[in-house]
Each structure stands twice: as C-alpha cells, then as structure tokens.
Amino acid sequence: MTDAATSNKADVIVLGAGIVGVSAAYAARQRGLSVILVDRREPGSETSYGNAGILSSGSISPLNNPSLWKALPKYLTNRHPALRWDPVWAIRNIDWVVRFLANATPSRTRPRATALHGLIGASLKLHREWIVKADAAQRIRETGWLKAWRGDAVAAAKAEQALLAEYGIASQLLDRQAISALEPNILPVYQVGLLHTQTASVDSPGAVVKAYARMFAGSGGEVSQSDIKAIAPEGDGWRVVLADGVMSARHIVVALGPWSADLLRPLGYRVPLAFERGYHREFRPNPVRSLQRPIHDADGSFLMTPMEQGIRVTSGVELTARDAPSSLVQIDAVAEVARGVLQFGETVGEPWRGSRPTLPDSLPMIGPAPRHSGLWLAFGNQHIGFTTGPATGAAIAAMIAGAEPSFDVAAFSPSRYL
C-alpha cells in the first residue's frame, strides 16, 4: 500500500477495491495502462467480503422475473424470510419499486437472462484463470451448488433445469436418496434437489479479492488507501479529491458498489440504485458433520456454505435504506432453521451486513458515463457481483483501451438510466 498523498497521476484511477474495482484495475494493468486503485479500506473488505462466495454459472434469471408475481402476496406480509421491506423506504422509493416490478414480465426477462449469461460465462472463465495466477487456487471448490426443496417441488426444479439447459448450463435433478449420497452429513429434510454442476465456490471471498489485489500490485499497479471525497473533470481528464490529497488521471472508474451513486450525484447523474441488504452469521463447524458445497434452502430462503472460518449462513433480502440500522430478525430466524439441517457449533465472530447494489432491471452498469468523457461506470452487480466482478472490470478495461469486450455489453449501457 502507498500513502495516497504521495500519489498523483495515472492513466486510470479505479475508485473502489471490491471484486469489481480490483478486477478493473488488474485488467487495465494487463493492457499496459498505469493504474491506481483507491479504497478507504483494504481490498475486499465490504460487500465482496461477506457474500456467500458462490461463483454461479446458473444465476441468469434476475430476481424480478415473472415468478415474483406469484410470491408477491406472501412478501407483502413482511414476515417472509426471503424479503423484509421498510414501508417508509418503499414509499420514498416508489419509482424504483414500480420500475423493478415492471421488469418482471416474460418479454423483459428473457433478454436480461441472455445478457447475464454472457457476463457470467466471461467472468467464470476469468475467475478460474486468475485464482490460479493469484496463488489462491486452493480456495476454489468445483463441487457445484445444491438448491434444495423440502416439499414436492419436482415441477419447479424441472422448470429451472429446462431454462438452464436452454443456455447450455448443466444441472442434475436429485431425489432424497441422491441428496443424502451427495451431502451425507445433512439431515434428510429435502425431497428434491437441483445440483448446479458447473458452479464453483470459494472458502473466503474476501481473501480471494485480496489475492487478486496482490496480483494487481505485483503487475506494477498501485494500491492506495484513502477516503474518496469527490470527483471532478480537469482538463482532458479527472481529479479525484481524497481525504489526504488529490490524484488525477485521464480515466476514472467508479466501482464503489453500493456507494457508487453518491459521488455521481454532484455531476448531475441520478442513479436509481437500491440496496438489497443481506446478513451473514458464521458458526463453528462440527468436525464430523462437514458440508461439501453451498446449499440454497429454497423454502427456508437462506444459504449455507462452508467457509474458512466456519459455516456461513446468509439471509434473504432486506429492502431499506443502505445505512439504516441493522435488524438481526431475518438472519437469526434462518440460522435456527439452518441448524435443523446441519449440526454446527457456536457463533464465530459478529453478524455481518452488506448491501447488494441493484438497478431496476437487475443488470449492472458497465460502460461510459453518457455526458462525461473518461468517466466509466462499473456497479450494480446485485446478487451475483462476486461471480460477475472479473468480466465487469475486464470489459471496462477493454473499452478504455479502445478494444471490444469479450461479451456483449449493450444491455449494460449506463445510458439506459442516465
């Protein structure tokens, strides 16, 4: 790390060292550009730290798909583990809510699934390459991801399998016995399972981002720790005002995850970014009751996955202001249910909260800001940002260098909202 005050000029300054920013920085460096990566914390310390670490090949269907309408009545009760929402927030952000729901139609879902499939495919390729280069290959598990239902959900599982198959994504339908054979240490609570066989996972997403940041530094990039206060055009480039100095560059990349909209507002961009907050709790693993892969309990609306520190249980969505006080109701409720699936020990560490940054169409912004040259936007990766960070960053680096990204970025253009 360097002291920000001593740094000044580069081809590119990347703002934010989550998975998206670190990836953009590394990819830009690979293209021979001089790059400074700035974050107020160490790389991979926020949203990219506390997620479930799933590198999901199959998360092509955005949350606002047609099945949302069927689930809506139970969500409106505000008691469902999948979704808690703050009515005051919803009224204040009714525009976002309406636009989010309006996208949940068949004709608006299919093109988004196709766009996400391209982004995910490109990203998984990079993750698998970079994790080896970054000397972190021991962290990745190619054991798939099990989605499991407690009731007779064969029809739902088959429908999901059919959609995945249309995109060439492999999965296996499992019955109770097959689930027990796959995960012998869980109690036999699930009747139906769908194993996403091409999905991988990591045992510490934060450590993976840190390893990628070290790889960036090793390639000649500069990592700088400082609070970013403002950005402003300067000559044919940009000035970045930090708590302890100023930097400038021809290009800047806004990869600030859930904080991205804040710095853009003074430039006249009103980004419709909402925060699908989520929590995790970790538990001491029982050494004779281990888990081989992440499990998504479809009826319980939680995920549990083996991590370096223990069994990590993550919650569904809490729709509210980004910085509203935490409520542990949702995570504590699902953690109890998870304990009925896998015997694990006491809590390890403190509960964690993060915000999935989400635009109304559940697609990230990847591309140039419409009214400012040299300003690049890379955020809004919702539930799958750990998966999609590398290709998001690599596409930005390609565009800065005047090259074609490796997947079709048209659907991710910032100009659709700005």
The DSSP code sequence of 308-341 is SSSEEEE--EEES-TTSPP--HHHHHHHHHHHTT
Q: Considering beta carbons, is residue 335 or 404 the nearer one to ligand FAD?
A: 335
Type of residue at 210:
K
Burial of 300 (0-12, 13-18, 19+ CB in 10 A): buried
Yes or no: say if 303 and 294 are a contact pair by the CB < 8 Å rule.
yes
Which residues ranging from 231 to 260 are in contact with ligand FAD (CB under 6 A)? 255-259
Q: Kindly state the tokens that stand for 292.
A: 């081989």
DSSP 8-state assignment for residue 285: P
**Binding of ligand FAD at residue 7 (CB under 6 A)?**
no
Q: How far is the CB of 152 from ligand FAD (least distance, A)?
A: 27
How far apart (Å, rounded) are the C-alpha atoms in residues 398 and 402? 6
Figure out which of the listed residues 193, 354, 360, 390 binds ligand FAD, where binding follows CB under 6 A.
Answer: 354
Yes or no: say if 257 and 379 are a contact pair by the CB < 8 Å rule.
yes
Residues 108-140 as b or e (16 or more Cβ within 10 Å = b): ebeebbebbbbbbbbbbebbeebbeebebeebb
Q: How far is the CB of 380 from ligand FAD (least distance, A)?
A: 8
**Binding of ligand FAD at residue 384 (CB under 6 A)?**
yes
How far apart (Å, rounded) are the C-alpha atoms in residues 43 and 25? 12
Q: Considering beta carbons, is residue 269 or 379 the nearer one to ligand FAD?
A: 379
Residue nearest to ligand FAD (CB): 385
Contacts of 315 (CB under 8 A, 6+ apart): 81, 278, 279, 280, 301, 302, 330, 331, 334
**Binding of ligand FAD at residue 203 (CB under 6 A)?**
no
**Binding of ligand FAD at residue 302 (CB under 6 A)?**
no
Q: How far is the CB of 256 from ligand FAD (least distance, A)?
A: 4
User: Which one of the spans 39-47, 161-169, 192-200, 232-240 is the region binding ligand FAD (CB under 6 A)?
Assistant: 39-47
Yes or no: say if 277 and 322 are a contact pair by the CB < 8 Å rule.
yes
**Binding of ligand FAD at residue 379 (CB under 6 A)?**
yes
Q: Considering beta carbons, is residue 84 or 280 the nearer one to ligand FAD?
A: 280
At 86 the three-state DSSP class reads: coil
Figure out which of the listed residues 280, 281, 296, 312 binds ligand FAD, where binding follows CB under 6 A.
Answer: 280
The residue count for binding ligand FAD (CB under 6 A) is 39
Q: Considering beta carbons, is residue 250 or 356 the nearer one to ligand FAD?
A: 356
**Binding of ligand FAD at residue 300 (CB under 6 A)?**
no
Q: Considering beta carbons, is residue 29 or 356 the nearer one to ligand FAD?
A: 356
**Binding of ligand FAD at residue 51 (CB under 6 A)?**
yes
**Binding of ligand FAD at residue 198 (CB under 6 A)?**
no
Q: What angle do CA 259, 280, 278 make, to 5 degrees?
A: 45
Type of residue at 347:
T
Which residues ranging from 137 to 196 are in contact with ligand FAD (CB under 6 A)? none
At 183 the three-state DSSP class reads: coil
Q: Considering beta carbons, is residue 55 or 400 the nearer one to ligand FAD?
A: 55
Q: How far is the CB of 276 from ligand FAD (least distance, A)?
A: 7
**Binding of ligand FAD at residue 40 (CB under 6 A)?**
yes
Q: Put the strands of the sheet holding 200-202 in their side by side order.
A: 54-55, 200-202, 140-141
**Rg over CA atoms, the chain:** 21
Which residues ranging from 15 to 34 are in contact with ligand FAD (CB under 6 A)? 16-21
**Binding of ligand FAD at residue 117 (CB under 6 A)?**
no
How far apart (Å, rounded) are the C-alpha atoms in residues 149 and 147? 7
Residues at the site binding ligand FAD, with contacts judged by CB under 6 A: 16-21, 39-41, 45-48, 51-54, 56, 227-228, 255-259, 278, 280, 314, 354, 356, 379, 381-387, 389
